[in-house]
């Protein structure tokens, strides 16, 4: 794909230089490179500009040379883009002066393998469907920017789904196939020039998997493909489509991604220290990682699991049950039985790791459960989602209070440089310098955004809105041509108005997203849109799942509303969502609408992308917006607008009714009023004050540089240290730890505990009696759990007072209780020397 970038290169830009730039997806966030490619073909659509390597091949070597000769300004831009690329390429992740290399010099040999089912980097690599792909791409880009040695692992889907609507607004799907030769990727080859392949075991056969690589700045993304001639026709199609609905294909895809992904990395000489697994789709990577450690260290299965666990980070991205796979136990056994032998266990042991009720052989196999049980660190993707996820999976840690379930959170972020318009990019650089593009945000620095001239920022917003209008009209014309539909309800040239308040809505058309909450009172909404003095328009996009008839009806109802009220020119749906459309909407709208039913939105990153372009968010208090609103400065201009409250609501019907009323009132009384309240120069002063406050507040917090730094410092580096401790010296600590955990499990059922509380005038004395069974006080931690209504529970360690044989007595002193509802309970948990600070499932005993 790329050639050597040594010092023998000429200083001017050549065809080969620019092809190197186009074949490294770093161009997706480099504004100068985007400007260059747009200059090379001024008539190209935004979608065509997502394929710069194809654009260059279309121009040709001689054609490009002539363009650069004829246009000195273009030649200078090309030279600057190439030089910037060379400097970045020459400073590899292990030698550059990036954030990671400066801040964490002692851990330079860290290698993180980031597994995900999708990556939304560009339309020319169409291996994405939604939010998970967006977050995965943002982390790859951030890792490159920060210099964190992180490698992506995914699947190469050749089949791409396209959405189109018929004249009744009904969604339909079509598929086409894209050859890898058309994508910005290369086949990975060995020293003899042969394509690298690995084998993955499936029922009755081994499937061959080819390995491709995409360059993402300093990061690599490895993609696995079963379209290998040695495979059967059916097996060649395993990786054809993202999220295939066929059960056997889904399970096969997950084994190819997880097991095949670890094997592919090993085949190219990479043994990662950390596996970062995103959603249960990636869980089987743990099995192959465990098998390899067993072979490398001579460990048994239980010992290897303990050695591997600290180096596994698991991130779940959805609180919706349908977002997790549950496989029939017979189907799961058919696929996993071939992996039991190499792991030294029987199939039943392996299957039990993925069952919510481990001891129930009839329970479904859930890869998410396997990942949660195997990881050393687990997290949701927003503060609220962390709480929801702890409640969702609390049963995996029986008898442990929900608040102590070991699932944390890292709120998602977006790669700011990837989403800003050219004008906003220049305003930020003029205000903050170039550091904002490469360094995790600093609130003090970002407060300088408040100094940006409001008229300049308003001008940038108007340009972006006009760009969205033109983009929408172009897409409408393309859609008509593709459908061979000669009849237009509204001529494309009349769609939208670049001066109107523009609302954007992007999301899957699924019930919990409530995309039709706007239509709860259609007459009222139509009146808002049609106000001649303060007109409003809405641009929306997204897809219903091909098998979700309910979701398709939600989409159709929006189209029917527009036709019924004569609003086809200002309620506009853009079909076939992709990264090009995502960028146009995030940059061009004024308000980003998000209406999920709280608390079912894990995070939501669309509003973050939009917020960096001066777009104000308008959302229910769910996902990241719950944090943004609660943490905002109440004395400053509002950073956006909220729909409804944090609840709780009596039922979903009541929630929908109250949220809809809140939506209409806020839209009419606050949003529309602020947007159209202009000064003598036509600038909405109050609106722009909120825009600047939003940008200054959100950017340093909901940035993927911050997100990726958090993962590194909270999970990757501690996991690296702990893993190496356990595996050092022939993995002696891993062996000992596994023995100790097994000893605890065997003896734990024989523990018992009682508590006695006596009150005196100035204090309360607590005495706890413990039956140790076959354990020792050094194995245990005896605590008081103090619960007062309306307050978070308090946990207090007791002191060992007496130990005799298999009995021990512990004590503590408490202040007098001022609350009649306070309850004091005693409990036993393993000593910190066994747990490294984390709860062990099932090892907790209470006095009640």
Would you say residue 171 has pLDDT above 70? yes
Would you say residue 94 has pLDDT above 60? no
Element (H, E) at 513: none
Average pLDDT over every residue of 410-417: 96
> Contact at 8 Å (CB) between 37 and 27?
yes
Pull the structure tokens for residue 724.
Answer: 């190496």
User: CA–CA separation, 326 vs 315, rounded Å?
Assistant: 18
How confident is the model over 681-719, as pLDDT tens digits?
Answer: 999 999 999 999 999 999 999 999 999 999 999 999 999
Pull the structure tokens for residue 522.
Answer: 């259609």
Q: Tell me, what's the pLDDT at 489?
A: 65
Would you say residue 6 has pLDDT above 50? no
Average pLDDT over every residue of 320-332: 94
User: CA–CA separation, 70 vs 754, rounded Å?
Assistant: 89
Neighbours of 7 (CB within 10 A): 7
Contacts of 798 (CB under 8 A, 6+ apart): 766, 768, 782, 783, 784, 810, 811, 812, 826
Helix/strand/coil for 277: strand
State whether the Cα torsion 392-398-401-405 is positive or negative. Answer: negative
Q: Closest Cα to residue 430, out of 451, 411, 454?
A: 451
DSSP 364: P
DSSP 761: S
- The maximal CA–CA distance of the chain, rounded, in angstroms, is 95
Q: Tell me, what's the pLDDT at 364?
A: 97
User: CA–CA separation, 48 vs 580, rounded Å?
Assistant: 9
The pLDDT confidence band at residue 647, using thresholds 50, 70 and 90, is confident
How confident is the model over 773-832, as pLDDT tens digits?
Answer: 999 999 999 999 999 887 889 999 999 999 999 999 999 999 887 677 789 999 999 999
Which of 22-31, 468-477, 626-635 is most confident? 22-31
Q: Please state the φ and ψ torsions of residue 713, each to the nearest 5 degrees.
A: -80, -30
Q: Tell me, what's the pLDDT at 818?
A: 66
* Percent of the chain whose predicted confidence (pLDDT) is above 90: 85
How confident is the model over 502-528, as pLDDT tens digits?
Answer: 999 998 899 999 999 999 999 999 999
More confident residue, 788 or 664: 664
The pLDDT confidence band at residue 4, using thresholds 50, 70 and 90, is very low
Would you say residue 658 has pLDDT above 70? yes
> Contact at 8 Å (CB) between 779 and 834?
yes
Q: Within 13 A of 68's CA, how many CA atoms are on the CB side?
A: 21
The pLDDT confidence band at residue 349, using thresholds 50, 70 and 90, is very high
Neighbours of 802 (CB within 10 A): 11
Kindly write down the DSSP assignment for every residue of 648-662, as one continuous string: --SSHHHHHHHHHHH
> Contact at 8 Å (CB) between 209 and 252?
no
Pull the structure tokens for residue 406.
Answer: 């070991």
User: CA–CA separation, 215 vs 197, rounded Å?
Assistant: 19
DSSP 327: B
How confident is the model over 187-242, as pLDDT tens digits?
Answer: 999 999 999 999 999 999 999 999 999 999 999 999 999 999 999 999 999 999 99
> Sheet of 845-846: strands edge to edge?
794-797, 780-787, 823-830, 845-846
The pLDDT confidence band at residue 486, using thresholds 50, 70 and 90, is low
CA angle 35, 38, 42 (to 5 degrees): 140
User: CA–CA separation, 307 vs 285, rounded Å?
Assistant: 15
How confident is the model over 537-566, as pLDDT tens digits?
Answer: 999 999 888 888 999 999 999 999 999 999
Q: Tell me, what's the pLDDT at 55?
A: 96
Displacement of CA 244 from its chain's centroid (Å): 20
The pLDDT confidence band at residue 630, using thresholds 50, 70 and 90, is confident
Kindly write down the DSSP assignment for every residue of 562-624, as one continuous string: HHHTT-TTTEEEPPS--HHHHHHHHHH-SEEEE---TT------HHHHHHTTTPEEEEES-HH
**Tokens 């479904």 appear where?**
364
Q: Tell me, what's the pLDDT at 2?
A: 45
Contacts of 800 (CB under 8 A, 6+ apart): 777, 782, 808, 809, 810
CA angle 158, 160, 166 (to 5 degrees): 160
Q: Closest Cα to residue 152, out of 104, 81, 215?
A: 215
Q: Closest Cα to residue 356, out of 342, 366, 347?
A: 366
Average pLDDT over every residue of 165-181: 90
Average pLDDT, the chain: 93
How confident is the model over 107-132, as pLDDT tens digits?
Answer: 878 999 999 999 999 999 999 988 89
> Contact at 8 Å (CB) between 347 and 259?
no
Q: Tell me, what's the pLDDT at 837?
A: 78
The pLDDT confidence band at residue 5, using thresholds 50, 70 and 90, is very low
Q: Tell me, what's the pLDDT at 441?
A: 84
How confident is the model over 436-463, as pLDDT tens digits?
Answer: 998 888 889 999 999 999 999 999 999 9
The pLDDT confidence band at residue 416, using thresholds 50, 70 and 90, is very high
Q: Tell me, what's the pLDDT at 619?
A: 97
């Amino acid at each position: 794909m790329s050639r050597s970038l040594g010092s023998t290169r000429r200083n001017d830009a050549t065809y080969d230089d620019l092809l190197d730039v186009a074949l490294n997806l770093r161009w997706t966030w480099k504004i100068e490179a985007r400007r260059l490619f747009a200059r090379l073909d001024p008539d190209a659509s935004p979608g065509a500009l997502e394929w710069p390597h194809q654009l260059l091949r279309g121009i040709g070597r001689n054609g490009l040379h002539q363009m650069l000769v004829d246009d000195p300004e273009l030649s200078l831009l090309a030279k600057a883009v190439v030089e910037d690329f060379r400097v970045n390429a020459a400073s590899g992740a292990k030698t550059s002066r990036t954030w990671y290399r400066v801040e964490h010099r002692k851990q330079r040999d860290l290698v993180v393998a980031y597994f995900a089912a999708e990556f939304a980097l560009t339309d020319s690599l169409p291996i994405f469907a939604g939010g998970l792909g967006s977050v995965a791409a943002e982390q790859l880009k951030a890792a490159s920017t920060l210099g964190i040695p992180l490698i992506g692992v995914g699947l190469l889907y050749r089949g791409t789904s396209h959405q189109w609507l018929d004249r009744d607004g009904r969604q339909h799907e079509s598929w086409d196939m894209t050859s890898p030769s058309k994508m910005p990727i290369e086949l990975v080859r060995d020293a003899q020039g042969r394509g690298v392949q690995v084998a993955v075991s499936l029922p009755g056969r081994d499937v061959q998997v080819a390995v491709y690589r995409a360059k993402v700045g300093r990061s690599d993304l490895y993609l696995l493909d079963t379209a290998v001639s040695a495979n059967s026709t059916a097996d060649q199609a395993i990786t054809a489509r993202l999220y295939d609905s066929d059960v056997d294909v889904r399970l096969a895809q997950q084994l190819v991604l997880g097991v095949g992904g670890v094997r592919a990395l090993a085949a190219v000489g990479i043994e990662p220290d950390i596996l970062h697994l995103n959603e249960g789709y990636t869980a089987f990577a743990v099995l192959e990682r465990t098998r390899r450690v067993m072979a490398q260290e001579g460990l048994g299965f239980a010992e290897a699991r303990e050695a591997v666990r600290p180096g596994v980070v698991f991130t779940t991205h959805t609180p919706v049950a349908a977002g997790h796979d549950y496989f029939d136990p017979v189907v799961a056994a058919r696929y996993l039985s071939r992996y039991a032998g190499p792991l030294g266990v029987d199939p039943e042991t392996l299957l039990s790791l993925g069952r919510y009720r481990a001891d129930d052989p009839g329970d479904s196999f859930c890869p998410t459960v396997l990942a949660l049980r195997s990881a050393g660190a687990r997290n949701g993707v927003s503060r609220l989602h962390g709480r929801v996820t702890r409640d969702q999976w609390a049963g995996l840690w029986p008898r442990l209070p929900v608040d102590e379930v070991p699932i944390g959170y890292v709120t998602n972020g977006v790669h700011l440089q990837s989403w800003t318009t050219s004008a906003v990019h220049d305003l930020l650089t003029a205000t903050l310098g170039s550091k904002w593009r490469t360094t995790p945000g600093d609130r003090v620095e970002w407060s300088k955004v408040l100094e940006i001239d409001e008229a300049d920022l308003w001008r940038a917003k108007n340009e972006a809105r006009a760009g969205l209008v033109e983009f929408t009209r172009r897409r409408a014309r393309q859609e008509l041509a593709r459908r061979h539909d000669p009849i237009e309800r509204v001529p494309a040239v009349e769609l939208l108005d670049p001066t109107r308040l523009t609302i954007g809505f992007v999301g899957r058309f699924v019930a919990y997203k409530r995309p039709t909450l706007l239509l709860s009172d259609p007459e009222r909404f139509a009146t808002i849109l049609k106000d001649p003095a303060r007109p409003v328009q809405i641009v929306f996009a997204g897809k219903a799942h091909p098998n979700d008839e309910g979701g398709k009806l939600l989409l159709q109802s929006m189209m029917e509303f527009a036709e019924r009220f004569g609003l086809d020119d200002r309620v506009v749906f853009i079909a076939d969502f992709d990264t090009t459309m995502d960028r146009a909407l995030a940059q061009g709208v004024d308000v980003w609408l998000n209406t999920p039913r709280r608390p079912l939105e894990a995070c939501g990153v669309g509003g973050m992308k939009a917020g960096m372009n001066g777009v104000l968010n308008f959302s229910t208090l769910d996902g990241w917006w719950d944090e943004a609103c609660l943490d905002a400065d109440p004395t400053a201009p509002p950073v956006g607008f909220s729909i409804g409250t944090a609840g709780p609501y009596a039922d979903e019907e009541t929630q929908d009714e109250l949220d809809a009323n809140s939506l209409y009132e806020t839209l009419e009384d606050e949003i529309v009023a602020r947007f159209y309240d202009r000064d003598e120069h036509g600038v909405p002063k109050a609106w722009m004050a909120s825009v600047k406050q939003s940008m200054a507040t959100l950017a340093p917090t909901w940035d993927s540089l911050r997100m990726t730094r958090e993962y590194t410092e909270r999970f990757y580096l501690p996991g690296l240290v702990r893993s190496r401790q356990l595996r050092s010296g022939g993995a002696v600590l891993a062996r000992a730890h596994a023995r100790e955990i097994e000893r605890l499990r065997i003896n734990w059922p024989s523990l018992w505990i009682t508590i006695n509380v006596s009150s005196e005038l100035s204090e309360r004395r607590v005495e706890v009696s413990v039956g140790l069974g076959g354990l020792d006080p050094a194995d245990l931690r005896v605590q008081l759990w103090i619960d007062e209504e309306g307050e978070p529970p308090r946990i207090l360690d007791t002191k060992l007072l007496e130990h005799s044989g298999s009995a021990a007595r512990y004590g503590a002193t408490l202040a007098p209780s001022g609350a009649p509802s306070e309850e004091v309970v005693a409990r036993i948990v393993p000593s910190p020397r066994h747990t490294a600070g984390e709860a062990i499932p099932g090892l907790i005993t209470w006095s009640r």
